[in-house]
Amino acid sequence: MTNLLDTQLYALLGEDYFTRLVAAFYQRVATDDLVGAMYPKEDLAGAADRLGGFLIQRFGGPQTYSQQRGHPRLRMRHAPFAIDTRARDRWIELMSAALDDVQTPATARPVLDRFFADAATFMINRAD
């Protein structure tokens, strides 16, 4: 698969992959001084559930996220957090390490890297 579509990733990777990815990511978030400070400690499990559901849906899995929460509205949901380039870069760093941890297949990695970089850039809402 050289031109892997975003919506084919769920079929290729499965739900367990996304669950492991999100767990690896939030393990890092919990101890990160920049990104971790944006998450209420008592809601890390909830944040992980929401991100996992969103990613599963976004990459071709069941539409459970939208059924439970409606449209993702990513910018609106992230508006309360001060996200600048530094926070964006750290978020990508943490997610990249999580992608490494779960041994993301080489065919899927460029698609996921591009998505996470674009999504994180879209979340920037503060000047540096």
Q: Which whole number is the average pLDDT over 47-60? A: 95
pTM score: 0.89
Please say whether the beta carbons of 69 and 50 come within 8 A. Answer: yes
Structure confidence by residue, pLDDT tens digits, 30-41 = 999 999 999 888
How does pLDDT run across 85-110, given as a tens digit for each residue? 999 999 999 999 999 999 999 999 99
Residue 89: both structure tokens together? 């870069």
C-alpha–C-alpha distance, residues 76 and 125, integer Å: 10
In this structure, what DSSP letter does residue 57 have?
H
Distance separating alpha carbons of residues 17 and 12, to the nearest angstrom:
10
In the chain, the amino acid numbered 31 is T
CB environment 45-63: b (16+ within 10 A), e (fewer): eebbbbbbbbbbbbbebee
Of 82, 92, 87, nearest to 119 (Cα)? 92
What top-level class would CATH report for the domain 11-123? mainly alpha
